[in-house]
Amino acid sequence: MVGANIVSSERPRRLRLGMVGGGNDAFIGAVHRTAARIDDHFTLLAGALSSTPSRSRESGEALGLDRVYDDYKQMAIREARLKAGVEVVAIVTPNDSHYPIAREFLRRGIHVICDKPLTSTLDDANKLLKTVNNNKAIFVLSHNYTCYPLIRQAREMVTSGYLGQIRVVQVEYVQDWLTEVVNNKQAEWRTDPMRSGEGGAIGDIGTHAYNLVRFVTGLKVEQVSADLQAFVVGRLLDDNAHVMLRFEDGVRGMLWASQVAPGNENGLRLRVYGDKGGIEWAQEEPNLMWYTPYGCSTRKITRNCAETLEAANRLSRIPPGHPEGYLEGFANLYSEAAAAIRAFDRGEKVPLSVTYPTVQDGLDGMRFISACVKSSRGNSRWVKID
Amino acid sequence: MVGANIVSSERPRRLRLGMVGGGNDAFIGAVHRTAARIDDHFTLLAGALSSTPSRSRESGEALGLDRVYDDYKQMAIREARLKAGVEVVAIVTPNDSHYPIAREFLRRGIHVICDKPLTSTLDDANKLLKTVNNNKAIFVLSHNYTCYPLIRQAREMVTSGYLGQIRVVQVEYVQDWLTEVVNNKQAEWRTDPMRSGEGGAIGDIGTHAYNLVRFVTGLKVEQVSADLQAFVVGRLLDDNAHVMLRFEDGVRGMLWASQVAPGNENGLRLRVYGDKGGIEWAQEEPNLMWYTPYGCSTRKITRNCAETLEAANRLSRIPPGHPEGYLEGFANLYSEAAAAIRAFDRGEKVPLSVTYPTVQDGLDGMRFISACVKSSRGNSRWVKID
Amino acid sequence: MVGANIVSSERPRRLRLGMVGGGNDAFIGAVHRTAARIDDHFTLLAGALSSTPSRSRESGEALGLDRVYDDYKQMAIREARLKAGVEVVAIVTPNDSHYPIAREFLRRGIHVICDKPLTSTLDDANKLLKTVNNNKAIFVLSHNYTCYPLIRQAREMVTSGYLGQIRVVQVEYVQDWLTEVVNNKQAEWRTDPMRSGEGGAIGDIGTHAYNLVRFVTGLKVEQVSADLQAFVVGRLLDDNAHVMLRFEDGVRGMLWASQVAPGNENGLRLRVYGDKGGIEWAQEEPNLMWYTPYGCSTRKITRNCAETLEAANRLSRIPPGHPEGYLEGFANLYSEAAAAIRAFDRGEKVPLSVTYPTVQDGLDGMRFISACVKSSRGNSRWVKID
Amino acid sequence: MVGANIVSSERPRRLRLGMVGGGNDAFIGAVHRTAARIDDHFTLLAGALSSTPSRSRESGEALGLDRVYDDYKQMAIREARLKAGVEVVAIVTPNDSHYPIAREFLRRGIHVICDKPLTSTLDDANKLLKTVNNNKAIFVLSHNYTCYPLIRQAREMVTSGYLGQIRVVQVEYVQDWLTEVVNNKQAEWRTDPMRSGEGGAIGDIGTHAYNLVRFVTGLKVEQVSADLQAFVVGRLLDDNAHVMLRFEDGVRGMLWASQVAPGNENGLRLRVYGDKGGIEWAQEEPNLMWYTPYGCSTRKITRNCAETLEAANRLSRIPPGHPEGYLEGFANLYSEAAAAIRAFDRGEKVPLSVTYPTVQDGLDGMRFISACVKSSRGNSRWVKID
C-alpha cells in the first residue's frame, strides 16, 4: 500500500456539536452526523431533532445524546448557559426554518453549520446575512460539493491559469427521483413552496450547481435567462430548469437542473473551458478529473496522485485508487468548519487554505433562485443577479 | 465469430456517381467517396472537383475518373446528354454554392446528395426547396449522423413509446479545433460569412445537433432563445452557441454547439427523457446507447445486439463488439440514397423503412440558424421557427 | 434528495476499542480508526501504537487516548483487568507480529480485528487458528473488500443462481507503486521476507484477490499453478504474480497480482462467468457492477438501486449516485465486527446476515501464498491447497 | 471540421482480386470484400465462392462477378492464363483448406490474402511456409487487429522505449457467443477438430491475441503453460483457455481466450507494462489508448491526435473524434497488402513502413496452438514454442 496522507484526524479536543432536525428517518441529518464523525473533530451531544417533541426525544435517545430538547429555542437558550454546552449546531431542517433557528444560536455565539439552500425567501436570506454579520460566530453553509478534493484542484487550476482565460462553463445537476409523483417525506417538503421557497429543482439542486461554478471559476454570474418547468401534473415547483448564464468578462455558461431525467441518480457535472485548456468532473466519479491542455491528450487526474495540488491533497485521506466518496466530501466541510471555528475561538484569522461556503454564498444562491424564477416568469428575459 | 448480418452490398448494378468539389486536399470529399464505396452501390465516374480547372483536372486524374470537368455547369449539361452519364451527383462544396450547383443537376433529372448545411442563406434554401419540388429527382442532405444504427434505434424507441411522453431533450455538439485562430482551408471558409452564411458553429455543427434531435424525437421545435458568441478575436461568426429550445407539446430542451472547448474532438451527444425512461448516446462511441426504463437499472445497448430493433439492425454490417464508425454511418446515408433512387427510378415509392434527410430538413435547419441568430441579436428573446 | 437507508449508526453503547500499531505515520492504522468511527459502534480508548515506546506515547497523545502503553503485552494484561478496559483490539502491525499480539488479547477474552494477511508464516497461522478456537472471542480479519455492498450483491447473485453454473473466474489486483525501488516505511516491510513472509505481491494483495474470489463464489480453490517474479533488481519477494486456478466442480480461474504495472493505482477487479450470466466489478468504481444475463444487454447495477438485494443494501448508507468508497467499505467490516461481538457478548449466535472474514479465511489465504510459492519454485507445477 | 489525413485512396490502377469461399451467408467473406473496397485498391472480379458449385454460382451472380468458378483449382488454372486474370486472391474458407487452396494460387504467382489461423495442422502450416518461400508471390495473413492505427502506435511506442524495459504483458480475447450449444454454420466448423484443427477458442481467437502481443512487443514467447477447457457438454475443442507466457528476456505474461464469458462481445484487450510506463488498449474502443508514463497521470491517446506517431497516422483516414472501426482496421490490412504487392510487382522492396502478418507469423501461431494443447494435455507443464 502506497504511503498515504490521511487527513490528520487527531486534534487536542473535539468540538461540542448539537443538531436541530435530523430525526430518525431524515436523510441529511444522518449524513451530517457521519460527516462530523469521520475526521473526529466533533462530538454530538445535544439536539432538538424534530419539531414533534416525542419524536425528538425518541431520536435523541436512539442517538445516545446527552441532552435532548423539545424545541430549538429552548435548546439554544439552555445550551448557551451550560459551561460545556454545544459550541456549534448543525441545522438540517426544511429551508423555511433555517433563518429563525440559526438566529437563536448565532445571537448566543454558537456557531452554525446550516443545510442549503440558505432559506426559503430572499427576505429571510438578507436577514440571516445581517444576523451573521452582527454576531460573533462562524456560519457554514453545506454546499458540500465544494469540498471534494478534485473540486479544490479544479479551482486551483483555474486560479493558477492552467485553463487560460475562461470562456465557457457547462454545469448540470440531474436526478430522476421526482419523475413521478412521490409521496415520501423527502419529496413532500421539497416540492412545497411554503417550506422550500419559490425554487424546486432550481433551489434544491440548481443552487449546488450554481455555487459549484462560482466556487471553481471565481467568476460572478451577472445575468440569467431561465426556462423553468414543472412536468409532473400538480407539482407546484419546477422539476426541470434550463438556464443560460452570462458571467463577468464575457464568459458564457449553461446550467441544467432536473429531477425528472430517468437514468440520472445524482448527476452533478461541471465542465470549464478556457483558451488554454478544459476540465471535466462528475460527482458520481469524484476521484477523477479530466484535464486537457489545448493541443495535448486528455489527462486523467486522480485524487491524491502525483499531479494534484496541495489545495486538493490537504482534503484527501487515502492514496489514489482507494475511492473516497460523498461522505468524505461532506466530512471535509466539517473539517473546514472545525478549522475555522478553532481559529475563530483562538481569536485568529481563518487560515487562507481553509475554505467553506458562507452566508454570503447562501444569499448569492437565493438571488440566483430568485433571478431564475423572475426570468422564467418573464418569458426567459435576462435578469440581473444583484 | 458470431453469425453476422452485414448489409447486403450485392446489387444488380452500381449507380453512376459524379462529384462537385472534393478536390485533392478536401476532407469531406474523400469521406463521401469512401462512404459511397463501402456498400458498393455506386461507381464514381465524373467530377468537377475544384473551381480551379487545373486543380479539378489534377484531382480527377488522381482519382482515375472517366470524365473530368472544368466547371459544374458544363458537367451537368454534358452528363445529362450522355447515355451512361452520372445518375447522381455529390455536392461537397462550401455552403454558398450548394443551391446553384444543385439546381443545374436537379433540373436535368440528376439526383443530388448535398453536403450540409443546405445553403448559406435562407433565400437560397427556399429556392432550392422549390427546385427540388419542381423537378423529378431525389435530393439527399448529408446529415450523416441520422444514419448511425443506434440513432435509428433511439428514434424507433421514442416512436414506440419506450420513453413514454417526452419531456426534456439535451443535445450538444462540441469541438475544440477553433480554440485559436486557424488558417487552414477547412477553417477559412467555415468562419467566413460570405461562404458559410450567418451561422458559425451554430451552422456548421449546430444544425447537425438540431437535425438529430428532430430526427430522433419527431418533435417540432417551436421557439429558440439563443446566446451566440465569437470568442476568438477577429472571428466574424459564432464559435460557441447556447440555445434553449421549446418544442411542441411543452417539451423543453437545450442545445450547446462549440468549437472552442478544449478536450472535445467531435462530441455530438444526445439525451432524451420521457416519463417512462431515458436514453443517452454519443457519437464518439456510436456502438452503444444507454437506456434506462424508469425505476430499473441502466441497460447498455450495443449495436446489433439481441435487444436492438430492426430499424437499427438493417443499417448494421457486422456483429456487436466489432465497432462500426463514422464512415459506416456515412455509408448508410449513401445506401439509403441508393435505395431511394432505385425505387424512384423504378417509379415506385421509397420503402417506408428507408429514411434520409431531405431538402425540407435542410430548410428547417436554415430556419433554425436564422432564428438563433435573430434571437441572439435580440438579446436572446424567444424567436419562432416558422 | 431521494429517501435514504443510511446504516443506522444509532446504537445503545459504543464498544471500547484498543489498537496495537498504527503510530503517527502509518497508513492502515488511520484507516482502521476512521473506519471504526464512521458508523459509531466504537470508541478508541487505549493503544500500544508503536514498538518504540516514545513513539507510542507521542502517537497516543496526538490521538487523545485515555491509556497509552509501551508494549502490547502490557496493554493486554492491564486492559483485561480494567472494569472498562477495551473489549476489542485492532492489530495493525506488520504480518510477523500478528500471531503473538493476537494471542495475548484472545486468551484474555478480548476480541481482535486483525490486519491481513493473517501472519507471516503458515506455522503461525495454524497456531493462531488454534488460539482462536481455544478461546472465547471473535476474530475478524481485515479483508475489507468483502464488505463493499456490491461485493455482497455479487455473492448473493452467485448463490441465488443469477449466473447459473459458474465456469470461469478472473481476478486481478494491480498496482504500480513498487515499479521502482521504494524506500519508505510502507514499502520496506512489505518487501522484507522476515516481516512479510514468503509472499510479496502475492501476499500483500494477492490474498485479497484470492479471498474475494472465495467469498463471492463460495468455491474452494483446489490447485494453483503459479509463476512469481521479482522484477525490481534486489527485491527479495515477488512483485508480480501469475496464477492459474483450479476450483472444485471443474471451475477454472486466473489471478494476476502486480505492484509493478504503471498506470494502476489500486486495481482490484473481479469477473465471474457462469452458463447463465456474468458479472464484473472493480474496486476503483465500487458503486457499480456490470451484470449480463446471457443473451441480454448488460445492466449497470448501482449501489443501493432498485435492483440491488438486501444483502447489499444493508451495508449501504446513502442513495445511489452518492458514492461511497474505500473507507465506507472498511467501516462495514467494523460494523459487521460490532454486530458479531454484540451477539457474542449477549451469548447469541451471530445473525446469518452478518458476515466477516475469519481466522479460517486467513489460514486459507496463508495456504494460498504457500502453495503459490511452492508451485512457482516447482516450475509452476500444480500444487494443492489443502 | 478539422483538416483530415484520409488515406489517399487515389491510385493509378486497382488490383484485380479474386475470392475463394465467402458465399452468400458467410460472415468473413463479406468483411473481406468491404475491406477491399474501402480504400479502393482492389476490384473483385472472380471467385469460387463455395465448395458447392451451385451456391458458388449463385453467390457470384449476386456479387456481379465477371467470372465464377465451380472450384478453386479450376479458378487458379484459368485465372493464371488470362491476360487480365486476378492478381491476388482472398481465401476465406475453413482452416483445413487454406493450404491446398493457397498452394494452387501461389505456385501460379498469384498473391494470397488468407484468413487466420494459417491452417488446421502444423504440418500443413510448414508446407505452406515452404510453398510461399519457393514461389514469387506475397502472402498476407488476416491478423487484422494488427492494423488498427493505435496498435501501430503501441508498437512504435514500445520500440521507441516509451515503456522502458518491458516486464509484463496481459492479453485477453473474450467472447460469449458459444456460451451454449450453437448450431449455426459459423459455430459448426469452428468447433469441429477436423476443419478447425486442434485448437478451439485458443485457435480461433487465441492466435489473434498471441499475434497481437508478438506484433506490439516484438518479443518472442519462449514457453507456455496452458489450461484449456471445453465447458459446453459435447464440445470437442476448448472454449476457454488460460495460458501463462514466458517471453525472452524474462518478460512474463498471461493470455485468456474465451467464448463462454457472458457479457463479452469481442473483447480483445492488450496491456503492456515496462519499467517506465504502461499502455492499455481494447478492440471495442479502438480509437483510444491509455498511456501512463510512470509517476504521471494517465493520458488518453486518441487516434490521429496531436500525440500519435506517423506509424499510426498513416493508417488513419479521418480526424480524431470521428470513430473508425473494425472494417477500417481490416481495410488497412488490404491497403498494406496492396502496397506490398505493388512494390513486389515493380520488383522493389516493400517499404519499411508497410507491415503485414506473414506466413511466418501464421506458422508461429500454429506452433502456439500446438504448444498450448500439448501443455494442457501435460497438466499445464511449460512447453517450448520452437
Three-state SS at D298: strand
Among the partner residues C256, C264, C278, nearest to D263 by beta-carbon distance: C278
Which of A289, A297, A298, A299 should be substituted to probe chain D, the one whose Cβ sees the most D Cβ atoms within 10 Å?
Answer: A297
Comparing alpha-carbon positions, the chain A residue that sits nearest to B300 is A263
pLDDT at C334: 98
pLDDT-derived band of residue B42, with 50, 70 and 90 as boundaries? very high
Average pLDDT, chain C: 94
**Cβ contact (<8 Å) for B305 and C299?**
no
Phi first, then psi, for residue A270 (nearest 5°) are: -125, 135
Distance of CA D356 to the CA centre of its chain: 9
Q: Terminal CA-to-CA distance of chain D, rounded, Å?
A: 51
Chains adjacent to A (≥3 CB pairs closer than 8 angstroms): B, C, D
Among the partner residues B168, B179, B271, nearest to A275 by beta-carbon distance: B179
Comparing alpha-carbon positions, the chain D residue that sits nearest to B36 is D38
pLDDT at A7: 42
pLDDT per residue over A169-184, tens digit each? Answer: 999 999 999 999 988 7
Does B53 reach chain A within 8 Å, measured CB to CB?
Answer: no
Q: What is the rounded average pLDDT of the residues C269-292?
A: 98
Res C11 pLDDT > 70: no
pLDDT per residue over A6-24, tens digit each? Answer: 344 445 589 999 999 998 7
**Cβ contact (<8 Å) for A287 and C284?**
yes
Q: Give, in degrees to the nearest 5, the angle at Cα A248 between A246 and A252.
A: 35
Among the partner residues A229, A264, A273, nearest to B252 by beta-carbon distance: A229
**Cβ contact (<8 Å) for B305 and D265?**
yes
Res B30 pLDDT > 80: yes
Residues C41, C16: contact at Cβ < 8 Å? no
Q: What percent of chain A stands above pLDDT 90?
A: 90
pLDDT per residue over B203-223, tens digit each? Answer: 999 999 999 999 999 999 999
pLDDT at D12: 58
C67: β partners: C46
Task: Determine the length of chain A.
Answer: 386
Comparing alpha-carbon positions, the chain A residue that sits nearest to D303 is A297
Average pLDDT, chain D: 94
Residue C343 vs residues A155, A349, C137, C340, C352: alpha-carbon distances, Å: 48, 49, 11, 5, 11
Q: CA dihedral defined by D189, D194, D196, D202, rounded to 10 degrees? A: 120
D106: β partners: none
pLDDT at B12: 57
CA distance A163 to chain D (A): 17
pLDDT per residue over A319-362, tens digit each? Answer: 999 999 999 999 999 999 999 999 999 999 999 999 999 999 99
Closest CA to B182 of B166, B208, B204, B211: B204
pLDDT per residue over B78-98, tens digit each? Answer: 999 999 999 999 999 999 999
Among the partner residues C37, C39, C327, nearest to A324 by beta-carbon distance: C327
Does B177 reach chain A within 8 Å, measured CB to CB?
Answer: no
Does A300 reach chain B within 8 Å, measured CB to CB?
Answer: no
Element (DSSP H or E) covering residue B330:
helix B326-345
C247: β partners: C221
pLDDT-derived band of residue A185, with 50, 70 and 90 as boundaries? confident
Three-state SS at A147: helix
Comparing alpha-carbon positions, the chain C residue that sits nearest to D279 is C263
**Cβ contact (<8 Å) for D380 and C250?**
no
Does A30 reach chain C within 8 Å, measured CB to CB?
Answer: yes
Closest CA to B163 of C301, A261, C297, A231: A261
Chains adjacent to B (≥3 CB pairs closer than 8 angstroms): A, C, D
Q: Please name the amino acid found at residue A99.
A: Y
- Show the low-confidence residues of chain D (pLDDT under 50): 1-10
Does C301 reach chain B within 8 Å, measured CB to CB?
Answer: yes
Cα–Cα distance between D268 and D282 in angstroms, integer? 6
Q: What is the rounded average pLDDT of the residues C17-43?
A: 93
Among the partner residues D278, D290, D295, nearest to C261 by beta-carbon distance: D278
pLDDT at A375: 98
Res B167 pLDDT > 90: yes
Res C349 pLDDT > 90: yes
CA distance C272 to chain B (A): 19
What is the longest distance spanned by two Cα atoms in chain C?
63
ipTM score here? 0.94
Q: What percent of chain B stands above pLDDT 90?
A: 90
Tally C-beta pairs within 8 A across C and D.
Answer: 131
Among the partner residues D13, D177, D322, nearest to B2 by beta-carbon distance: D177
Residues B176, B265: contact at Cβ < 8 Å? yes
Question: CB-based contacts of D358: which residues, under 8 Å, 6+ apart?
Answer: D139, D140, D141
Residues A88, A337: contact at Cβ < 8 Å? yes
Distance of CA B5 to the CA centre of its chain: 25
Among the partner residues A176, A179, A242, nearest to B252 by beta-carbon distance: A242
Comparing alpha-carbon positions, the chain A residue that sits nearest to B253 is A242
A263, burial (CB in 10 Å: exposed 0-12, middle 13-18, buried 19+): buried
Question: CB-based contacts of B102: which residues, under 8 Å, 6+ apart?
Answer: B91, B112, B114, B128, B131, B132, B139
Three-class HEC string of chain C: CCCCCCCCCCCCCCEEEEEEECCCCCHHHHHHHHHHHHCCCEEEEEEECCCCHHHHHHHHHHHCCCEECCCHHHHHHHHHHCCCCCCEEEEECCHHHHHHHHHHHHCCCCEEEECCCCCCCHHHHHHHHHHHHHCCCCEEECCHHHHCHHHHHHHHHHHCCCCCCEEEEEEEEECCCCCCCCCCHHHHHHCCHHHHCCCCHHHHHHHHHHHHHHHHHCCCEEEEEEEEECCCCCCCCCCEEEEEEEEHHHCEEEEEEECCCCCCCCEEEEEEEECCEEEEEECCCCCEEEEEECCCCEEEEECCCCCCCHHHHCCCCCCCCCCCCHHHHHHHHHHHHHHHHHHHHCCCCCCCCCCCCCHHHHHHHHHHHHHHHHHHHCCCCCEECC
Distance of CA A168 to the CA centre of its chain: 23
Residues of A in contact with C284 (CB under 8 A): 287, 321, 323
**Cβ contact (<8 Å) for C299 and B301?**
no
CA distance D273 to chain B (A): 25
Three-state SS at B298: strand
**Cβ contact (<8 Å) for C300 and B297?**
yes
Among the partner residues A295, A300, A302, nearest to D300 by beta-carbon distance: A300
Residues of C in contact with D276 (CB under 8 A): 262
**Cβ contact (<8 Å) for C263 and D298?**
yes
Closest CA to C339 of C4, C96, C8: C8
pTM comes to 0.96
Res B335 pLDDT > 50: yes
Comparing alpha-carbon positions, the chain C residue that sits nearest to D297 is C263
pLDDT-derived band of residue C9, with 50, 70 and 90 as boundaries? very low
The cell for C73 is: 503485552
Cα–Cα distance between C59 and C56 in angstroms, integer? 5
Residues of B in contact with D327 (CB under 8 A): 38, 317-318, 324, 327-328
Chains adjacent to D (≥3 CB pairs closer than 8 angstroms): A, B, C
Comparing alpha-carbon positions, the chain D residue that sits nearest to C290 is D263
**Cβ contact (<8 Å) for D297 and A299?**
yes
Average pLDDT, chain B: 94
**Cβ contact (<8 Å) for B292 and A242?**
no
Q: CA dihedral defined by A191, A196, A199, A205, rounded to 10 degrees? A: -80
**Cβ contact (<8 Å) for A296 and D302?**
no
Residues of D in contact with C262 (CB under 8 A): 163, 273-274, 276-278, 292-295
Which of C157, C297, C304, C309 should be substituted to probe chain B, the one whose Cβ sees the most B Cβ atoms within 10 Å?
Answer: C297
pLDDT per residue over A256-310, tens digit each? Answer: 999 999 999 999 999 999 999 999 999 999 999 999 999 999 999 999 999 999 9
The cell for B267 is: 462530441
- Proportion of chain B in helix, strand, coil states, percent, rounded to 5: 40, 25, 40
Residues 319-338 of C with CB under 8 A from B: none
Which of B297, B300, B302, B303 should be substituted to probe chain C, the one whose Cβ sees the most C Cβ atoms within 10 Å?
Answer: B297
Does D185 reach chain B within 8 Å, measured CB to CB?
Answer: yes
Q: What is the rounded average pLDDT of the residues B235-248?
A: 97
CA distance D245 to chain C (A): 9
Q: What percent of chain C stands above pLDDT 70?
A: 97
Does A135 reach chain D within 8 Å, measured CB to CB?
Answer: no
pLDDT per residue over A215-270, tens digit each? Answer: 999 999 999 999 999 999 999 999 999 999 999 999 999 999 999 999 999 999 99
Residues of C in contact with D170 (CB under 8 A): 256
pLDDT at A192: 85
pLDDT at A58: 92
The cell for D155 is: 508498437
**Cβ contact (<8 Å) for A274 and B262?**
yes
Q: What is the rounded average pLDDT of the residues B139-156?
A: 98
Cα–Cα distance between D76 and D105 in angstroms, integer? 6
pLDDT at A4: 35
pLDDT-derived band of residue C8, with 50, 70 and 90 as boundaries? very low
pLDDT per residue over C206-253, tens digit each? Answer: 999 999 999 999 999 999 999 999 999 999 999 999 999 999 999 999
Does D318 reach chain B within 8 Å, measured CB to CB?
Answer: yes
Question: CB-based contacts of A31: which residues, under 8 Å, 6+ apart?
Answer: A326, A327, A330, C4, C6, C318
Q: Where are the beta strands (DSSP E) in chain B?
A: 15-21, 42-48, 67-68, 88-92, 111-114, 139-141, 166-174, 221-229, 240-247, 252-258, 267-274, 277-282, 288-293, 298-302, 383-384
Among the partner residues D9, D267, D327, nearest to B318 by beta-carbon distance: D327
pLDDT at B192: 85
CA distance D316 to chain C (A): 26
Question: CB-based contacts of D377: which residues, under 8 Å, 6+ apart?
Answer: none
